[in-house]
Structure 1
Amino acid sequence: MKSSLTKNEQKDQYFSYCPKEFQFDSYRYSLLLKEIHGYNADILFLQEVDVRLQRRFLVPFLELKGYTSIFNCKENQVNEGLIIAIRDDRLYEDGNYTAKLSGLLKKRSNSDIMEFLKNKPESYEVISSRPSIIQIVHLRSVDDPNVQILAANTHLHYDPLFEDVKHLQAVLCVRYINDIIREIKKSQKNCKIQVIFAGDFNFVPTSRAAKVLRNDLDLINNKEENIKREEDNKNSTKTLNEQQQLSFFLLINWFFWTLFGNLFGANWLPKPLEDNNIEKIKVPFKFQCATGFPPYTNFTRAEGFTKDAFVGCLDYIWTFPETKVLKVIPFPDHELVTKYGAIPSRIAPSDHLPIICEICIEGRNKSNLT
């Protein structure tokens, strides 16, 4: 199993530490194809795949190597998209599905998300205008067609100022996966379907978005509850006079707004804030991250080039907790990653590192997939 990030149209203003000659398509494409060939993976998840790259080079190359590739372009006339590629001698496609994440907002099952966004106009503008999609391919094992997998691939919004957008996009993805599973089970009631959900999620392991996928929000809430309890204890030491002054102020404040509300209409009254607790927006599954949480999958911090630099884990392969992870392929040594400052570089075609693991899929005969 592998999730590889292929940055399209990387330009020197984004990666000023990387000489322009190593950012040209003619250099990066050959490096990328050589890298992909070396993985020997059964399933490939690729993001930010340039339309020209996949049409001219990547899909024909993968076909020669025994893969079937499914490419889906992002929306809004964006010239890049997602690829899921499968090894023909191990798996075959039994259907594929694609959805624009902003379009999923209109589904009745996502009304809680729309309700949350009512008081978040900026977040609504972002999530409703992004070209982000989810790509799903229904797979069956060649050896045992009863072994069924939904391979899902996505690339979420990048902006760190809108963590709630990433959270909601992740929820939309998982709910759509659940919709597809339900659709399949209408004709196959007792079938068991594994899910492998990979991509560039653009959130770190400690984010609420990562925690909602792992159903770990209780840990956050407990921590926040402890903080709140400590604050409450401090507040309880206030003097009686302070409490009386506060009560008096609230009474006057209530009287003021009630008077003006009666005189000039209800619109003068302050509207109560709606419950914007994003933790209430949940997913129907609990996931584990098959590749764990390495220190970084994205490394763009080169010495002397600190502008827009980032080091952190943004890429994941999510599976159901019962899926057995046999092996996680180690990352390259840090010295190699930073040999030319950061990535991309002369030896790395992307600013993301590939994440690779081997998992066991249960069937009549256990099947290992990479």
Structure 2
Amino acid sequence: MIGKNHDEPLSLMDIPAKTDKNKRKPSTSAAPNDHRKKRRRLAVSSETAIPKSSDPQKLAASSRLKTICSPSRTSRKHGKRRSSQTDGHRRWVYSARDCSRFIDKFMVASYNILGVENALNHPDLYHRVPSKFLDWSFRKELICNAIKFYNAGILCLQEVDRFDDLDELFQNYGYKGVYKARTGEANDGCAVFWIDKLFSLLHQETIEFQNFGLRNNVAQLCVLKMNKSKSKSKTSRSFVIGNIHVLFNPNRGDIKLGQVRLFLEKAHSLSQRWGNVPVIIAGDLNSIPKSAIYQFLASSELDIQLHDRRKISGQLDFSSSHGAFRFCSGGTKWSNVSTSKSFGWSDEEIRIASGSENVTRLQHPLKLSSAYYGIPGSYKTRDTNGEPLVTSFHSKFMGTVDYIWHSEKLAPVRVLETLPVDALKKTGGLPNEKWGSDHLALVCELAFDDDENDS
């Protein structure tokens, strides 16, 4: 492991070399503020009461919002006071369920680290970012420091175009890794790292989506096994870990869906071949939580004819209530993106999305849950789905596109909260002096959840 396994991991602002001389002292007159905050919490709760509706989707959404607005219950369960989020800090939040029976646990991080060439080739996205914060040597140090303090046993990285640099550095921390470069002209790709003492690589394979007429993106699938199981379970502590970076182009929802559909099919097939082991899906899906792609992952099915191809990912059509914004580079105003005109699907687009002729209803056999959805969080950092409000922020986008999903037999124990929207807005964009990418890493602790641990 890397250093000590902290219950409250240090953020980059907590690194000893960068002490904060202006750290605020506790206020001696907090009572009025506490009173206002209490009223605000009550107002939020009253607005999110479960409606009298027969629509299960509406009931689920309302119940989820009510849960994530009540983190105090979780704090009391774990016997620690969870302080509110502040500028530059990220804190752990814990599951509301009793996780004491879980024995075999491990940490997973998913992080789009911003490819060096991508940063150089798209200056319009980072025109508000000082050039020194885009320098790879500077960003690499921040990324490595973050990885050390996250202390994750497994890393799923996207937009990796300096794999040799990271591989050499991460070896010092006990990691081994595998890399898959994108096909075509782009030089970045995906990388999976794991701590060698904790896990063994049993199998690996990659997906080149161009072989299926789905552009030059790639994905990775690895079968990992825990080297030391502490439980008495006879079940193999193996699992499939999948890492993907989905096509960005918002207009090609057919290709996005095709990539996700194929990725899930391959992950399920690999799980079956290795004894129906659990599956973890991590990566940048280039889709927001209110999108049809998110719905497909969460509900295991999707009728594509009910959705506009250009709105499948939600990138071109979202509202401020969903926590996703587009930044107007000419000023400081934050505005909603206008709705695009609806249009249907061609036969070719249906074939690309579904992989078959005349098939419009997609299904996948994995029963997936989002790790962040499964852990109560603050309304300052979560949307009504329970997902982070923001995982990516540059001059033209502020919203959530990154996720960690898990199948049955795994349960989330804790997740690392992202940053509040108001704190991120003050930075003007990522990367900056604290964060080495235009994305924030997602980090969660997962546990094997089986009946044998109850004995």
Report the secondary structure of 1:332's partner residue. coil
Distance 1:174 1:218 in 2: 14
Whether 2:170 is the aligned partner of 1:80: answer no
Other structure's SS at 2:427 match: coil
Residues in 2 aligned to 1:278 and 1:205: alpha-carbon distance in whole angstroms: 25
Q: Please list, as runs of the form range in 1=range in 2, the aligned pairs for 1:1-370 lying within 5 A after superposition.
A: 1-9=108-116, 10-11=119-120, 12-50=123-161, 53-55=162-164, 57-103=165-211, 105=212, 128=213, 130-144=215-229, 146-184=236-274, 191-215=275-299, 276=350, 279-292=360-373, 293-301=387-395, 309-362=396-449
Q: 1:229 maps to what in 2? A: none
Q: 1:70 to 1:274 in 2, by over 3 A?
A: closer
Q: What is the alpha-carbon distance in structure 2 between the residues aligned to residue 322 and residue 205 of structure 1? A: 24
1:213 partner amino acid: L
Structure 2 CA distance for aligned equivalents of residues 216 and 340 of structure 1 = 38
Distance in structure 2 (CA, Å) of the matches to 1:324 and 1:344: 32
TM-superposed deviation, 1:149: 0.7
**Post-superposition CA distance 1:265-317 (Å, at most 9, x none):** xxxxxxxx86958751222222111123111211224xxxxxxx112110111
Residue type of the alignment partner of 2:246 = L
- C-alpha distance in 2, partners of 1:59/1:363? 35
| Structure 1 contact 147–362 (Cα < 8 Å) conserved | no
> CA separation in 2, counterparts of 1:54 and 1:274?
39
Q: Structure 2: which 5+ runs fail to align? A: 1-107, 230-234, 309-345, 351-357, 374-386
* Paired AA for residue 36 in structure 1: I
TM-score by length of 2: 0.57
Partner deviation per Cα, 1:140-161 (whole Å, 9 max, x = no partner) = 1101482111110000000111
1 CA distance for matches of 2:440 and 2:282?
Answer: 14
Supply the distance in 2 between the matched residues of 1:363 and 1:300 (Cα, whole angstroms).
42
Runs (5+) with no aligned partner, structure 1: 106-127, 185-190, 225-272, 302-308
User: Could you give the per-residue CA deviations for residues 212-234 of structure 1, whole angstroms, max 9, x where no partner exists?
Assistant: 1112657999999xxxxxxxxxx
Q: Determine the C-alpha separation between the residues in 1 that align with 2:179 and 2:371.
A: 24
The structural deviation recorded for 1:44 is 0.7
SS in 2 for 1:338: helix
Which residue number in structure 2 is paired with residue 263 of structure 1? none
CA contact (8 A) 1:156 1:166 kept: yes
Q: Which amino acid aligns with 1:137?
A: C
Q: CA, structure 1 residues 176+219, in 2 after alignment: closer, same or farther (shift >3 Å)?
A: closer
How many matched pairs? Answer: 279
- The question of whether the paired residues in 2 share the 8 Å contact of 1:134 and 1:152 is answered with yes
Cα deviation, residue 27, structure 1? 1.5
Whether the 8 Å CA contact 2:219–2:244 is kept in 1: the answer is yes
The 8 Å contact of residues 48 and 81 in structure 1, kept in 2 or not, is answered as: yes
CA drift of 1:162 comes to: 1.5
* Structure-2 residue corresponding to 1:123: none
Report the equivalent of 2:73.
none
Output the CA distance in 1 between the equivalents of 2:184 and 2:168.
26
CA separation of 1:336/1:354 partners in 2, compared to 1, >3 Å: closer, same or farther? same
SS of 2:268's equivalent in the other structure is helix
CA distance in 2, matches of 1:279, 1:2: 34
Instruction: Tell me the SS of whatever aligns to 1:173.
Output: helix
Structure 1 CA distance for aligned equivalents of residues 292 and 426 of structure 2? 33
Offset from partner CA, 1:94-153 (integer Å, 9 cap, x none): 1111111232x3xxxxxxxxxxxxxxxxxxxxxx26211110111011014821111100
Q: Deviations over 1:69-95 (max 9, x none)?
A: 111111125321111111122211111
Larger radius of gyration: 1
What is the CA–CA distance in structure 1 between the aligned matches of 2:109 and 2:452, rounded to whole Å? 23
Q: Would you say the 8 A contact 2:304–2:362 is kept in 1?
A: no
User: Amino acid of the residue matched to residue 356 of structure 1?
Assistant: V
Closer, same or farther in 2 for the Cα pair 1:85/1:218, shift >3 Å?
A: closer
Name 2:55's counterpart in structure 1.
Answer: none
Distance in 2 (CA, whole Å) between partners of 1:220 and 1:129 is 17
- When normalised by structure 1's length, the TM-score is 0.69
Contact between 1:152 and 1:195, CA under 8 Å: does it hold in 2? yes
Question: Does the CA-based 8 Å contact 2:225-2:238 persist in structure 1?
Answer: yes
